[in-house]
Chains A and B, each alone.
Chain A
Amino acid sequence: MNIAEIAARNVLRNKTRTLLTMFGVAIAIVAFILLRTVLDAWMVAAEHAAKDRIATRHKVTFVMQLPKRYVEEIRNTPGIKDVTWMNWFGAKDPKNEREFFATIAVDPKSFLQVYDEIVIPPDQIESWLTNRRGAVVGDVLAKQRGWKVGDRITLRGTIYPGDWDFQISGIYSAKRKSMDRNTFWFHWDYLNESAPLRARDTVGWIAARIDDPARAASLSQAIDKKFEERDTQTLTMSERAMNVSFLGMLSAILRALDIISVVILVIMTLILGNTIAMGVRERTHEYGTLRAIGFLPRHLVAFVLVEGMTIGILGGGLGLLIAYPFVNHGLGRWLEENMGGFFPYFRIENTTAVAAMGLAIAFSLIAAALPAYRAANLKVTDALRRVG
């Protein structure tokens, strides 16, 4: 029987306690993974944003529009490949007013060029391009609403008043994780010709593909400079910078989640340390005996550390086993379908799982360190004298 085996057997000594501790570690790992996944899900928008895309909006407020002619001027800027423009439409389904989804007017042809991560079957693209009232919707949104290709629907405008009729021409999915699959895209021309006069020929924002992603910042500046002396100034940013600034508005909550995920690990360490300390205390007498028959302090340290690590690994593994189905299939699915605007992609990242496991082991070693130290520093005589 080698030392590792003895340590492993010690784990089984008080089965209820070990089981409970394992369960405690598992719960902590589930909570940790859940929080990190929430954080990752938000970061996805920033990390997976296209590097070769920039967007131009009104400098001061997104409530105001840009003149349509800016589109041409941006197209003529050197370094720009494709340009498209959009308007936030902001409509609701009168049948279900409470559930939000984005409705955006786009120029279909250039839109699909600039946003090439959008996947639509070719025949559906064909029918969208020819149907002025046609719209394409995200697969997640379509499933949630029960919309099928060919359906006629009416939306009620909140910014552009009135009822607007549409026909679903296609359903899209996305190749890029940061693309929201809950959006309703339709013809900008349809909106423009029916919009009130003062809102006509204006666009909400202009998106462009650029030749060289490395030049995103300098190109953005060049565009803003171009419009600096005009009536309407612009603010141009790379898609990533825009998503990051959006995250900045949520920074307080992100920080809170970050802190809580660490607090969870501290709680886990407490539970684990507690168990191990109890085990060591109960076995004081035995450790004394072991020392008396010639085991060195470092052997005792090894016993305790291995015991702690075993529980940490088992608990962490159990946690992962629970977390995967829970997050990826239960909660994640639900969030993607119901809050897709905020969480377009809610899955456990592999790095998160590895980090969780690593931390479980690291913290179990930390938890075992103090009891191990105590066991090693026992005086043989004290230990043997003491009554269990």
Chain B
Amino acid sequence: MRSLAVRRTTTLATAFGIALVVFVLASSLMLGAGIKKTMGSSGRPEHGFVLRKGSDAELASSIENRLVSLVLAAPGVARDSAGAPIGVGEVVLVIAAEKEGTEGQVSNVQVRGTTEAAFALRPEVHIVAGRRAQPGTDEVMIGSRIRGRFKGVDLDRSFELKKNRPVKVVGVFESGGSSFESEIWADIDTVRTSFGREGVVSSVTARLDRATNFEGFESTVETDKQLGLDAERENVYYDKQSEDTMKFVMGMGIVISVLFSVGAMIGAMITMYAAVSQRRREVGTLRALGFSRFAILTSFLIEAFLLALLGGAVGAAFASAMAFVRFSMMNFATWSEVVFSFTPTPKILIMSVLAGGIMGVLGGFFPALNAARTSPIEAMRG
């Protein structure tokens, strides 16, 4: 341990290199976890999610309005105290909105035409500013993550869904970090009339009595081939939606981390070779005193491991600070922007620090072997 302190600059440089690697590795894993959390918490296993058969996203799906009540009447659908089924048919669209602070740059935002029933279905959705929109009006609510990101998309401001059809933002909601927080929620009829979607919905979501009731629900909804409907668990749907984006981010992160770690290992190797050669005499003495080759090898490996662990810990600490950064990215499945956050989990942090440690050990192995091979006689002579 003390030998690390001797060559301060060199040690610091190496540790810093490993810190950067661990930082990048941890950050990309955290972003992956963030995407998973955002999309994963949008869908629940006890929700049945119905689209038109053949559609793989809400955007492409349209279901006749009369089928909504049919789906909600299927066995297994939970009912509230008044005996009404808990569920909702919604229209989902993507609109081009002008980004705040840019000159005419547009980006896609998802708009959900929904009803009061959405709040009963998704109790995690709660207003954090303003109030709920009045049903049947041109009032809308926005998710907290897109607040202020687009022109007019902020509390008490308004924007146009269609020419001369401005909608007013009356509330901002949160939903436990799910992707709904990157959406605009408007009244279903406002959306329908603005976009010529009269008489249809995009999807129907229903709460089930128990998550295990899904099979019964699914077979009822899909049995009548005339209806042309396809049921899925809601969480399965959202997992599929995020799959491509996630693969992309993780793939990128891993390729970069691997390249980085090779660099850091080389850095560690250089440092350790220097450490070994400077202490050749010392090592020779130790050998002469009767320390085994194995003991020498281990002592150098421990030195490298500690060095890397130190760097790793610093890297992980900085990566944790990324938790406050919001990362806006296009979801490849919906072509709309979703805002993700870096989500540090203990597992990711521990794993990245350990990965740093392993890099140190791998990088230190050959130099340590070199040291262990030292012949005491030669070392003490030279």
Contact = CB atoms under 8 A, between A and B. Distances in A.
A13 B286 CA distance: 27
A270 B256 CA distance: 18
Given A156-B54, A157-B54, A34 B255 contact: yes
Contacts of A28: 263
B33 interface: no
A20 B96 contact: no
Given A263-B24, A267-B263, A271-B266, A248 B105 contact: yes
Interface string A74-95: 0000000000000000101000
Interface string B318-343: 00000000011110000101000000
Given A64-B195, A267-B263, 15 more contacts: A17-B270, A24-B266, A27-B262, A61-B95, A61-B96, A90-B60, A161-B52, A161-B228, A245-B105, A245-B107, A248-B107, A249-B329, A266-B20, A267-B17, A278-B274
B93 interface: yes
A320 interface: no
B369 interface: no
Interface residues of B, number: 56
Nearest to A162: B54
A62 interface: yes
Contact of B108 (A34, A249, A273): A249
B59 interface: yes
Interface string A23-43: 110011011001100100000
Interface in B63-86: none
A264 B264 CA distance: 10
A364 B297 CA distance: 33
A24 B330 CA distance: 34
Interface stretch (B8-16, B138-146, B299-307, B344-352): B8-16
B55 A158 contact: yes
Nearest to B335: A62
Contacts of A253: 249, 327, 329
Interface string B124-138: 000000000000000
Given A21-B270, A61-B195, A235 B96 contact: yes
B157 interface: no
Contacts of A31: 256, 259-260, 263
B312 interface: no
B20 A263 contact: yes
Contacts of B14: 270, 274
A336 to B, nearest CB: 16
Contacts of B60: 90, 158-159
A124 interface: no
A277 B59 CA distance: 60
Interface of A: 16-17, 20-21, 23-24, 27-28, 30-31, 34-35, 38, 59-64, 90, 92, 156-159, 161-162, 228, 233, 235, 245, 248-253, 256-257, 260, 263-264, 266-268, 270-271, 273-275, 277-278
A323 B24 CA distance: 21
Contacts of A264: 259-260, 263
B96 A248 contact: no
Given A23-B266, A28-B263, A277 B96 contact: no
Contacts of B264: 267
B279 interface: no
Contact of A20 (B105, B107, B266, B328): B266
A156 B52 CA distance: 13
Nearest to A371: B9
B53 interface: yes
Most buried by B among A27, A60, A235, A268: A60
Contacts of B260: 31, 264, 267
A274 B273 CA distance: 12
Given A24-B267, A27-B263, A62 B94 contact: yes
A293 B176 CA distance: 74
Contacts of B115: none
Given A60-B95, A249-B107, A274 B270 contact: yes
B162 interface: yes
Interface string B148-171: 000000000000111100000000
Contacts of B52: 161
B196 interface: yes
A251 B339 CA distance: 12
Contacts of A260: 24, 256
Contact of B266 (A27, A249, A251, A277): A27
